[in-house]
Amino acid sequence: MVFLVNLARLIFAPLVQPAAADFDVTAASLGVVASAAWLGSASPRLPTGYLLTRFPRHYIVAATGTLLVFTSLFTAFSQSVTHLTVGAFLMGISSGMYFIAANPLVSELFPNRVGSAIGIHGMWSQVAAVGAPLFVSAILLVGDWRTTFVLISALAAISTVALLLAARRTDLPDAGGADRSLLSAGRAQWRLILTGIILIGAAGFLWNALFNLYGDYLDVAKGIDASTGRLLLSLMFAAGLPAFLVTGRLADRVSNVPLILAIIGSFSVLVFALTLVEHFVAVVVLSLAIGYVIHSLFPAIDTYMLSSLPDHHRGSAYALYSATMMLIQAFGSGSVGIAVDGGLDYDVAFQSLTLVVALVTVAMLVLYRGGRLPTGGAPGTILDGSKADD
């Protein structure tokens, strides 16, 4: 299921160029479609957090699969950019609901090795990211881009049925049974929530813009053709596969905040370097390095958040954090796409964003060294309901 819901919000990146050709618009102008998918992913996170105070987590996970079946079919019949944008938004909703329900569930299923469990779960999510450009390329050989969404719908139906059957045979944890108020969780955990949002917000904004517009960026700024650009995007995502596993295990063993800051700082340096190089080999090497580093951030930040939150606040506080940071990220591709469409150079846009990310990283490091940031729970474990809030 995690494969499909992540595919639902990532599939639009490799589809930007063929869809733009079909609708006779520029690829940069379709950055708004990719942003819609991420806005859709952000929009249900608070409502889902509320639903988790009323229903078991696996019920919500199953509902996301059902939603994906119908929203994918809706998107498959897009006849305009507006229709496609709405479809992207609706498909994004399923991913947002899924991750809010599934990530706390995964951490509670494996309370003594949160980082490793999140890393494995994220790795399968990343398989979708790796396969998306290749999947689209294969579909375009035998059909048009709309066929992609028909296949996603069919696979979502099969996966949802399989999930329900598996849940009936599994003894699921009830750690979130005492989590009954979004407001209480927000008041108690606001420092941790705000820290998580700041840590990932700027970097996520840059990453969203970079990968969603990567094919067009390589074409316009580096002279790399569309098919090669899709392959490089796939390689960038493939580099994230070991990152989830390695960093997930590492997050179980070291302090999470220094690890996160090192990852974000490295990411900003690598993207800035990408804007300076012209040689194809250098672009390939930097694409792989960027892919590995940015995907290391996700298991690290999730481990930091989920291991720090007690049972009675985990689902709600994680929903508050996730909804806000996703909303910030979602505007990345649309903002850069509009700026480039208006005449701004791609390299200048990305260089400006890397400087913002670097400044945020330095500021957070100063706060951490001054003891002003929550340090999180013990690496690798989650707090039970009896422990005091930080």
Structure confidence by residue, pLDDT tens digits, 129-149? 777 777 777 888 887 888 888
Span 4-50, pLDDT tens digits = 888 887 788 778 778 888 888 877 777 788 778 878 887 888 888 78
Position 381 in a domain:
no
380 assigned to some structural domain = no
Does residue 375 belong to any structural domain of this protein? no
Contacts (Cβ under 8 Å, ≥6 apart) of 43: 89, 92, 93, 96, 323, 327
- For residue 321, being part of any structural domain is answered with yes
- 220: in domain: yes
Place of tokens 């066929």: 147
pTM above 0.85, yes or no: no
Asked if the structure places residue 387 within a domain, the reply is no
Count of all residues that appear for the chain in the document:
390
- Closest to 72 measured CA to CA, from 127, 140, 148: 148
CA atoms within 13 A on the CB side of 244: 18
Lowest mean pLDDT among 52-61, 148-157, 267-276, 321-330: 52-61
For residue range 172-181, what is the model confidence (pLDDT) as tens digits?
666 555 666 7
Selected residue with higher pLDDT from 171 and 139: 139
So what's the pLDDT on residue 385? Answer: 45
Confidence of residue 389 (pLDDT cuts 50, 70, 90): very low
- Assigned domain for 290 exists: yes
For residue 18, the model assigns a pLDDT of: 82
CATH number of the domain residue 270 falls in: 1.20.1250.20
Amino acid at 84: L
Q: What is the mean pLDDT of residues 69-81?
A: 91
Number of domains in the chain: 1
Task: Give the residue numbers spanning the domain of 321.
Answer: 2-369
Q: Does residue 314 lie in a domain region?
A: yes
Q: Residue 265: its pLDDT value, please?
A: 96
Give yes or no for residue 298 having a pLDDT over 70: yes
